Structure 1
Amino acid sequence: MTTYTFPEGFLWGAAASGIQTEGTTNKVHPSIWDTWHQTNPERFFKEIGPAKVNQTYERYQEDVALMKEIGFNSFRTSIQWSRLIKNFETGEACPDAVAFYDAYLDEMIENGITPMINLYHFDMPAALQQQYGGFESKHVIDLFEKFARTAFKLFGHKVKHWITFNEPIVPVEGGYLYDFHFPCKKDGKLAAQVAFNIMVAHAKAVMTFREMNIDGEIGVVLNLTPSYTRNDSDEDKQAAWYADLLFNRSFLDPMVKNSFPKELCQLLDKHGLMPEVRDSELTAITTAKVDFLGVNYYVPRRVKARETEYTLDYFTPEVYFENYINPEGRFNPYRDNNEILPTAIYDIAKNIQDNYGNIKWYLAEIGIAMDLESEGPVQGDGYIDDSFRTELMKEHFIQLNRAMEEGANCFGVHQWTFIDNWSWINSFKRRYGFYRLDLETGNRIPKRHSQWFKSLAETNQFSV
């Protein structure tokens, strides 16, 4: 057998978000997800919205105890803009929300669990979307900075790891290109403007953090998906280059290197997509240095050169490539047959090491989706058998360990997710948790993978 060892002090835990776990009890404002579900429940799997989810608002003490039970030393969640802020224009906080987040953070800290707090996880307050267009608006950038300032002031003495945005490209893709997030628009130029405005909001939050001299670190979490070609032809390689430029480097370069790829600017200009840009905004983006990077990875991207005519009447990245299914690939039968490629973890790590200054980073999300049928019923010992998940996670962590042995600067792993949680229009279709959520009772039922993870977290090693 081979033993794979990780450094002392390595962070082990899970990631989630406020909107996907807390429920809506005592929430001062709705988010776009609350209002979209109210108007279009048919867009959501089994019409389940975010109103009644894990109910962490009421059950946070129980949940923290379960985190401790399976060996977590860290946990990422988010503060909901629509819960914390009472007055969006002034940044005034809601006292009930302050009390809740204070208690939740204290509970984690008292149980030896380091909180990592994200400010934005796709959950634009509905009022700001309705009144201003969300991040279509420059004004909402300023309101986000006020939200960040309030959060830093209230919780900066407790939280030492801050994250500005989780997967900032996803609201752009979902809301402005591919119609899986509200506001369900299809407009390439508007997508470019929203993307740029999010980068400015991120930069201003980082600058506010520095100005306030908060004791801790601040970073961003990006979903980085390597692009692999059908073959070694120059045409396929060029297709993969474009996919990487538009899906990875578009955010990774400005947020880590503090510079825009020249080729990206040329492409946007060519297609008439250049956003409105102010000199002060460029200064913010090019000077706001992050302390660390979070990386989310689930599946690879397979691309080939376009073989058919592009027929959409607006710009998407697929102008430059077509998606491709590897006929020799391995696929997860429990998650829309998505490809499984553990070596992508190694490739991501080496890209960061070789091309991004070997910045300190952590694997902020990695998950293996199953469903209720594939996980099966509770076994005689009280656990659900998800050994399929464990075996695949081992393969991914072997690749991470391999990269770290070669110098990759990774400091932790957070698996998606702690308890099966509500997941946007998919609701509870896909299950990722260490614990199953029983939607009828709210009970948290342990899965066998949690015991393997506990041993890993406590010993910093596993053997295969």
Structure 2
Amino acid sequence: METVFPKDFLWGGAVAANQIEGAYNIDGKGLSTADVVRYVPPAERGSLDELLGMSRSRLEEAIKDTKGNYPKRRGIDFYHRYKEDIALFAEMGFKVFRLSISWPRIFPNGDDSTPNEAGLEFYDRVFDELLKHGMEPLVTISHYEIPVELVRRYNGWASRELIELFVRYAEVLFTRYKGKVKYWLTFNEINCTLKAPFLGAGVIIEEEPNPKQTAFQALHHQFVASALAVQKLRQIDSNAKIGCMLARKLIYPYTCHPLDVLQAQEENQMAQFCTDVQVRGSYPSFIRRHWQEHGVTIEMHPEDESILKENLVDYLAFSYYMSVTASANPAEAAQASGNLSGGLANPHLKSSEWGWQIDPVGLRIVLKEMYDRYQIPLFVVENGLGAIDRVEDDGSIQDDYRIEYFARHIEQMGEAIKDGVELWGYTSWGCIDLISASTSEMRKRYGFIYVDQDDEGKGSLKRTPKKSFYWYKKVIASCGANLDND
């Protein structure tokens, strides 16, 4: 078959530092917000909001606790096994590998006077290993973790103080890795600050009299910091590209009733306003109306609007896992779940074991809508299926369900390219099994590579390619032309 994907299309996979690295307390690293999230067994979990929240007392307890089960402290030991893992990615033929840098590995407290050289050297080694194997690093500067000391001192991004600290951190990265890293992202899934303030912005929301006000204010600080990082990169390395990153969950109207259509439109807009700010350079009118109706007043410095307007991103990256529906009368439909926020179930779609509705055509719709809206290059940097994998008696993992998921989504990306969408690349989420961002569990596996570890941290950490490993290798070798499962 002939491929519709460009010859220079960037095929690869994606991870986050706090979900794979481990080594949370060696080589000078400070604690991150991810390191204080305790594992909660499924039977003891409340809502996702409760699971992702944090109180001041819980934070202090977690900082002192050295014996509890905090899975992101151990990750999958990528810190010591990165050469083995990168060799496996190279065997699949990766052209790009998306990873993040742990802020407290570089600045242990966030506001230290000098960076931690041991942390910088670690990422030098990782980038050198990637480049040796012909892989471009795609680096997220802040992926769901900040130094925990910035929470204690400032309540995270609720404080404007973090703008200067973030830009200084970014400047150190841009200077150190100039020539090694060509693709940067500022914040992972920046819109999740509104749904999960501690996860997205290190904000303990229980302290705040107006949580919505605080969440939007924290998001504004992140927007300004992101724009200033864009400015800084262009001063330091004009050959590199820098983008923003959005959690994009498509929302359909539950019925064709006009009020359902309006409800879905407004819920989609709540995600897109973040990219409006970062791609177009200003807040759209509909979000200003939302602020007015919810008693939100954003404190801006006089220069903020010009900073946002003058420092637009080069490309738009996003995650896509699922779609849901919305209704003006939500009681009439069953609830769906997934990706940090719920919605109403779509009766036309099947769901994963975690209730995430599987909608490959939705990815094509999102690609077309976003390209039509912004007219800049797009990059799918997260997409994948979390599932419980079974190790067969012969040691193999026959994950045909994952192959089917990926094949149909890649197929729809090809259709979007035929439609005229400029798409730079695709990095599947959790290309090697890792710790879940939301539930901190290991049994929810995404990878092409199986890691022998359970939710309690028990296991050999042995890496084993799954059936999907060899399938994705074939997909990359054919540049997306061969999606057959044989």
Matches within 5 A, 1:205-224: 205-224=229-248
Measured against aligned partners, the alpha-carbon deviations of 1:341-364 in whole angstroms (never above 9, x if no partner) come to 11111111111221112x111110
The aligned runs of 1:5-44 (5 Å cut-off) are 5-23=4-22, 24=24, 25-37=26-38, 39=61
1:276 to 278, 299, 302: 299
Gaps of 5+ in 2: 39-58, 332-340, 454-458
Return the offset for 1:229. 0.8
Work out whether residues 33 and 182 of structure 1, in 8 Å CA contact, stay in contact via their aligned partners in 2: no
Q: Counterpart of 2:268?
A: 244
Distance (Å, rounded) in 2 between the aligned partners of 1:218 and 1:200:
15
Tell whether the 8 Å contact from 1:91 to 1:143 is kept in structure 2 after alignment.
no
- Counterpart CA distance in 1 for 2:222 and 2:202 is 16
Runs of at least 5 residues in structure 1 that lack an aligned partner in the other structure: 309-317
* 2:100 equivalent in structure 1: 78
Task: Quote the Cα distance in structure 1 between the aligned partners of 2:290 and 2:355.
Answer: 33
Partner of 2:252: 228
SS of the residue corresponding to residue 96 of structure 1 reads helix
Aligned residue identity for 1:55: D
Number of the residue aligned with 1:462 = 482
Q: Pairwise mapping of residues 272-421 of structure 1 onto structure 2 (< 5 A)?
A: 272-306=295-329, 323-332=343-352, 334=353, 336-357=354-375, 359-371=376-388, 375-378=389-392, 380=394, 382-421=395-434
Distance in 2, matches of 1:267 and 1:234, equals 20
Alpha-carbon distance, 1:259 to partner: 2.1
Other-structure match for 1:96:
118
Normalised by the length of structure 1, the TM-score is: 0.89
Structure 1 residue 157: Cα displacement: 2.1
* Residues 126 and 423 (structure 1), Cα distance of their counterparts in 2 relative to 1, 3 Å cut: same
Equivalent residue letter for 2:385: I
Deviation, structure 1 residue 27:
4.4
SS at match of 1:63: helix
- DSSP-derived class of the 1:277 partner: coil
1: CA distance, partners of 2:201 / 2:101: 23
How many residues align structurally? 440
Q: Whole-Å Cα distance in 2 between the matches of residues 181 and 325 of structure 1?
A: 30
Q: Confirm or deny: 8 A CA contact 2:244 2:275 kept in the other structure.
A: no
After TM superposition, the runs of 4+ consecutive aligned structure 1 residues lying more than 4 A away are: 178-182
CA–CA distance in structure 1, aligned partners of residues 435 and 475 of structure 2:
27
- Superposed, 1:98-137 pairs within 5 Å as 98-137=120-159
C-alpha distance in structure 2 between counterparts of 1:379 and 1:168, whole Å? 43
Check 1:463–1:103 CA distance in 2 against 1; reply closer, same or farther (3 A cut).
closer
User: Using the alignment, how far apart are the partners of 1:194 and 1:153 within structure 2?
Assistant: 27
How far 1:33 sits from its partner (Å)? Answer: 2.1
2:204 pairs, out of 183, 198, 215, with 183
Q: Is the 8 A contact 2:31 2:108 kept in 1?
A: no
Call closer, same or farther: CA 1:353–1:149 in 2, change over 3 Å.
same
The 8 Å contact of residues 249 and 320 in structure 2, kept in 1 or not, is answered as: yes
**CA 1:453–1:394: 2 relative to 1, 3 Å:** same
Local SS of the residue matching 1:298: coil
Partner-residue secondary structure (3-state), 1:209: helix
For the structure 1 residues 139 and 182, does the alpha-carbon distance in structure 2 shift closer, same or farther, using more than 3 Å as the test?
closer
Moved more, 345-354 or 105-114: 345-354
Which residue identity lines up with residue 422 of structure 2 in the other structure? N
Task: Please state how far the C-alpha of 1:214 moved relative to its aligned partner.
Answer: 4.1
Contact 1:227 1:243 in 2 (8 A): yes
Between the aligned residues of both structures, percent identity stands at 27
Q: Distance in 2 between the 1:146 and 1:180 partners?
A: 17
Answer yes or no: is the 8 Å Cα contact 2:28–2:116 preserved in 1.
Answer: no
How far is 1:158 from its partner?
0.8
> Cα RMSD over matched residues?
2.4
1:430 aligns with 2:447: no
Residue type of the partner of 2:344? Answer: Y
Deviations 1:268-324 (A, max 9, x none): 02211122111211111111121111121001131101457xxxxxxxxx9xxx932
- TM-score, length basis structure 2: 0.85
